[in-house]
A and B are shown apart, each in its own frame.
Chain A
Amino acid sequence: AQSVAQPEDQVNVAEGNPLTVKCTYSVSGNPYLFWYVQYPNRGLQFLLKYITGDNLVKGSYGFEAEFNKSQTSFHLKKPSALVSDSALYFCAVRDRNSGYALNFGKGTSLLVTP
């Protein structure tokens, strides 16, 4: 079975400060890991993914994520937050042996204040 945990319901950060949104995962094999963002009244937008190789993955809008196999984590980061980054962020995992559907975490609401 595969699962994703996002331990924080909400993350608050001041504009210009670095942000981290946490994600840990559990899969039976090697994972594919994804981050999506959901703005109000809009669908999910893909940010980045980890497949293999370099543990630091760079994605859209200046976001990056670090894959840590020993800690089974895939935290989302951005060096300098913008107010427009305020949204709901979902971490998702796909076991390489279990098809194409994604298993999502419960989401973390990011609030960036001016």
Chain B
Amino acid sequence: SAVISQKPSRDICQRGTSLTIQCQVDSQVTMMFWYRQQPGQSLTLIATANQGSEATYESGFVIDKFPISRPNLTFSTLTVSNMSPEDSSIYLCSVVSGLAGGSGANVLTFGAGSRLTVL
């Protein structure tokens, strides 16, 4: 399975600032996903990031707040904009290994996550 590196692993941010999280994969993948895990909560899908097209956002998440870039098949960034304490979460990047055409039974592989604390 793919190996995913996320940066930063953790950060403490001030209210009103923005932070960009990087996700680097050791192999080319078509689909990348960004999840949020709020304290004591489950994982919630923010958006699907496909190379060469706009990210697809889930209900409750908007591009102005969580802009995503996907410049190539091994890299993506998620920016958390104009942060508030409610944005304090773990943000996880995940991928379906391989390029398009894989089975829906494919496993999602996750990065270790980026823990953001907003003061």
What separation, in Å, do the CA atoms of A42 and B109 have in the docked complex?
13
Cα(A29)–Cα(B105), bound, Å: 14
In the complex the two chains form, is B107's CB within 8 Å of A101's CB?
no
Mark each residue of chain A from 31 to 57: 1 if its CB lies under 8 Å from any CB of chain B, else 0: 010101000011111100101000000
Q: What is the interface of chain B, defined by CB distance below 8 A to chain A?
A: 1, 4, 31, 33, 41-45, 48, 92, 94, 96, 102, 104-113, 115
Decide: B106 and A100 in contact? CB cutoff 8 A: yes
A106 partner, pick from B42, B94, B105, B109, beta carbons under 8 A: B42
In the complex, whether A63 has a CB less than 8 A from a CB of chain B is no
Q: Is the CB of B33 within 8 A of A101?
A: yes
Q: How far apart are the CA atoms of A94 and B104 in the complex, in Å?
A: 8
A43 to B94, CA, bound (A): 10
Q: Give the chain B neighbours of A41 by CB distance below 8 A.
A: 112, 115
* A104 contacts chain B at the CB level, 8 A cutoff: yes
Q: In whole angstroms, what is the CA distance A44 to B90 when docked?
A: 12
Asked whether any CB of chain B lies closer than 8 Å to the CB of A69, the reply is no
Q: Are A102 and B42 in contact (CB-based, < 8 A)? A: no
Say which residue of A49, A103, A105 sits within 8 Å of B107 (CB atoms): A49
Contact: A90 with B105, CB < 8 Å?
Answer: no
Can you name 15 extra interface pairs (CB under 8 A) apart from A34-B108, A36-B110, A101-B48? A42-B113, A43-B4, A43-B111, A43-B113, A44-B43, A45-B110, A46-B1, A99-B104, A100-B104, A102-B43, A102-B45, A102-B108, A104-B43, A106-B42, A107-B42
User: In the complex, A90 Cα to B108 Cα: how many Å?
Assistant: 13
Q: Choose one: B1, B94, B102, B105; the contact of A32 (CB below 8 Å).
A: B105
- 0/1 per residue, A76-114, Cβ < 8 Å to B? 000000000000001000101001111111110000000
CA distance A107 to B33 in the complex (A): 19
Q: Can you list the 6 inter-chain pairs with the closest CB atoms, starting with the nearest? A: A43-B112, A44-B110, A106-B42, A43-B110, A104-B43, A51-B105
Residues A46 and B41 in contact, CB atoms below 8 Å apart? no
